[in-house]
Amino acid sequence: MKQPIFIRIENDLEKAMYSRTSPQMAFFSFKGIHLLPNNIYPYRQRTYATEGIELENPEEVLVCDMCDNELYDISDFFSVDEVFQDPDTGLPQIYWSITNVQDFDAGDQLIYLKIRQGANAYFYSSPFVLTTDNSEFTSRWDYRNKPTEPMLSTQLKIWFKQPDTFEEISTYDTLGTGSSVSVSGKIIDYEIWQSGIVDINLFGLFKQMRRNAYVYCDLAKTTPFEPFDTPRLVGKENFAEAEISIVRDENNLYDPLYVPPTPPTPEPPILGITLSSVSSLNNSQVQYTFTYENFTTEILTFQYSLDNVTWTSILLPSGSPQTVGVPNNQNEGYYYRIIHLPTETVSNTLQLPADTLEIENITTQNVFNPNGNKYRFFYSYSGFTPIQNFIFQCSLDGVNWINMLQGNQVPELNIQYATTPASSEEFTYFRMLYNPQGIISPTYEFTIGG
């Protein structure tokens, strides 16, 4: 949607001063845009120059009267806010603003801006008024169509005149009597605003401005209450005045100085490799179980070291768990870790858990049999993968040990049946052995019927 522009900037003075008039006009006034100096809220407009505007860093911005006299330098109060290419035409255009002009008041006369960039490139604005004189007969207007667009703004010679109320009344005829009864339906509060005697072209710009989704009059959200017609000229003048009805919401205010908070720069994702566990499959293979976060890869580097300083590396696929060849791992106290070389991401370091073997529980018949007793052993182990059967032993004194006769087993449940040799005394001490690694379980004491 093309926005109405109340103050234009053009590449030459003739275009900036152009205003379409009728040959029957003989009396002219081009007032109606009335900016205030010493106003902390910026007045922002954009350009629609037909050949584009290439203005970025003006060296000088002068206020000139209509006789081309240079009145004041407002370079410190003029800003090119944004340089962009118009999406419809592809031409360079700008957003620009005037803010808080100090120590200068042009009085109730038309002025224009003469803008110099470089040595001899000049740009010119269309005429407007810059004064505090009669400021009470002006109002500020801010407008845009989308929340993502810059807010445009101006000050116009339009002021509050009076409040008014619209009352909707409906009537109906009663049965029997046939008399009419009036019922008040709804009431809407609105306001009447009055324009000054202004350039007739200003009413068209004003109507275009009111088409925007976001319009604020004196910083309050504003919508039209009813359409208004541009006054018909009756003489030879180019100016007129009009009443305008609007609805303002004082609870919905716009702050021209509000700066949306800059969202914090998102933290870059933290790359990581977590080595959950390492376990020995046999004396030449170790299984690495791991996860990795915030990167993708098909290859990882699996490492092991004796001193946690010098590492042996093996490149393997990144799927977990991964089996890695580590010679003599059951007899050496290796350190283990994983590295993703492209990102230099290194996992935590682990060692194989200590090899353990333990009898968890023993059950048997409740009567001692000197010819031998059959026991059921519940056991657990960790840190290694057995490739041979466990040996179960019994003892009368916990010092001298005798191998038991092993029977049925349920390896998936870690259950083994074993029978003591014939003895006139009850064996009360038991243990397990795993010979390939010389692992011996703690002694488990058990008494039949105990």
Same fold, 272-351 and 356-445: yes
Question: What mean pLDDT comes out for the span 230-246?
Answer: 92
Question: What mean pLDDT comes out for the span 270-289?
Answer: 93
Query: Is 181's pLDDT higher than 70?
Result: no
Question: What mean pLDDT comes out for the span 80-107?
Answer: 96
Question: What mean pLDDT comes out for the span 86-99?
Answer: 96
| Confidence (pLDDT) at 94 | 97
How many C-beta neighbours within 10 Å does residue 436 have? 12
> Which tens digit of pLDDT belongs to each residue from 415-424?
999 999 999 9
Q: Domain boundaries in the chain? A: 9-154, 165-253, 272-351, 356-445
In the CATH scheme, what is the code of domain 9-154? 2.60.40
Confidence of residue 317 (pLDDT cuts 50, 70, 90): very high
Confidence of residue 260 (pLDDT cuts 50, 70, 90): confident
> Which tens digit of pLDDT belongs to each residue from 10-48?
999 999 999 988 888 889 999 999 999 999 999 999 999
> Which tens digit of pLDDT belongs to each residue from 182-225?
666 688 899 999 999 999 999 999 999 999 999 999 999 999 99
For 329, how many CA atoms within 13 A lie in the half-sphere containing its CB? Answer: 29
Class assignment of domain 356-445? mainly beta
Of 318, 325, 286, the C-alpha closest to 301 is: 318
Greatest CA span in the chain, whole angstroms? Answer: 140
- Select the more confidently predicted residue: 388 or 324: 324
| Confidence (pLDDT) at 330 | 82
| Confidence (pLDDT) at 55 | 95
**Strands of 220-224's sheet in order across:** 152-156, 139-144, 214-217, 220-224, 243-253, 180-195, 158-173
Query: Is 1's pLDDT higher than 70?
Result: yes
Rg (CA), the chain: 46
Query: Is 241's pLDDT higher than 80?
Result: yes
| Confidence (pLDDT) at 178 | 61
Query: Is 177's pLDDT higher than 80?
Result: no
> What is the average pLDDT score of the chain?
93
Architecture of domain 272-351: Sandwich (2.60)
| Confidence (pLDDT) at 173 | 64
